Amino acid sequence: MTRTDPRTPLVELSGVGKHYGRVRALDGVSLEVHAGEITCVLGDNGAGKSTLIKIIAGLHGHDGGTLALDGEETRLTSPRDALDRGIATVHQDLAVVPLMPVWRNFFLGSEPRKGIVPFRRMDVDHMRRTTRTELLRMGIDLRDVDQPIGTLSGGERQCVAIARAVHFGAKVLVLDEPTAALGVKQSGVVLRYVSAAREQGLGVVLITHNPHHAYLVGDRFVLLKRGTMVGNHRRDGITLEELTRQMAGGNELDDLRHELQRRQGNGGEGEPPRPTGTRP
């Protein structure tokens, strides 16, 4: 991905849609990803977040709207095509080999080699040294890069994946629910390194269902519901309370609150009948 104008989004989706037969997975979704910014995509299960990831990562093509990279309209044909254009996606399962050491997972699929044919072999010293250096550059100080990556915490594994993407030249980093299965402390660790990726100049897409995590680091917020975009905000245009309210259902939640208050004010009148054979 060659930069032309720093004000041009690294990735821009305009009215993007995706259908699977008669099922509408995405419809009219727009977002921008700028260098040095974090764009958060929020939504509950079934909101369309996974489909959006697959389009940006090159797994699925869009069938409506446009996708532009650095201002040039294009269509990604595969994950390798996306990676070659500078888009790295860190999926929730991380695609690591638990019993292999950290340095081997860091270079998995891109191992440098040394020597001449037929004696070429992996340059293990270079991989160990580079892994340690790149992790330290992101502020990750592992005790030993020879330890199996499966012995690291979930947060540490996420951070290794982020550092790997930065090292291999990613311009856009897509993170699929990186804190979903983590506790409070480990989530904080991951968010710190997400912020570090932004400081390295990357454009970050953070997929999450947690508005508190999004608001800690986000610069832009896109809210999805049932495949459609129900909100698109800059950080200075929305508060955490309003972001949480919209994420929780917004007007639908207000309608439910009013209905419950009405029932309480009527002394329970209008309650649904109890099933027969049950005690009051």
The mean pLDDT of 180-198, rounded to a whole number, is 88
Count Cβ atoms below 10 Å from residue 39 Cβ, excluding itself. 25
pLDDT at 60: 92
Question: Per residue in 74-127, pLDDT tens?
Answer: 999 999 999 999 999 998 777 788 999 999 999 988 888 988 888 889 999 999
Residue 222 pLDDT exceeds 70 = yes
Integer Cα distance of 119 and 112 in angstroms? 14
Q: Going along 76-191, which residue ranges are E strands?
A: 87-90, 113-114, 121-122, 172-176
Question: Per residue in 156-175, pLDDT tens?
Answer: 888 898 889 888 889 999 99
Q: Domains for the chain: give ranges and CATH numbers.
A: 11-96+171-263 (3.40.50.300)
Which residues neighbour 107 within 8 Å (Cβ) at sequence distance 6 or greater?
A: 127, 130, 131
pLDDT at 10: 96
**Hey, what are 71's tokens?**
């201002």
Question: Per residue in 59-77, pLDDT tens?
Answer: 999 999 999 999 999 999 9
Q: Going along the chain, which residue ranges are E strands?
A: 11-20, 23-33, 38-42, 64-69, 72-74, 87-90, 113-114, 121-122, 172-176, 203-208, 220-225, 228-234
pLDDT at 89: 92
Integer Cα distance of 211 and 98 in angstroms? 31
pLDDT at 84: 92
pLDDT at 77: 92
Residue 278 pLDDT exceeds 60 = no
pTM for this one?
0.82
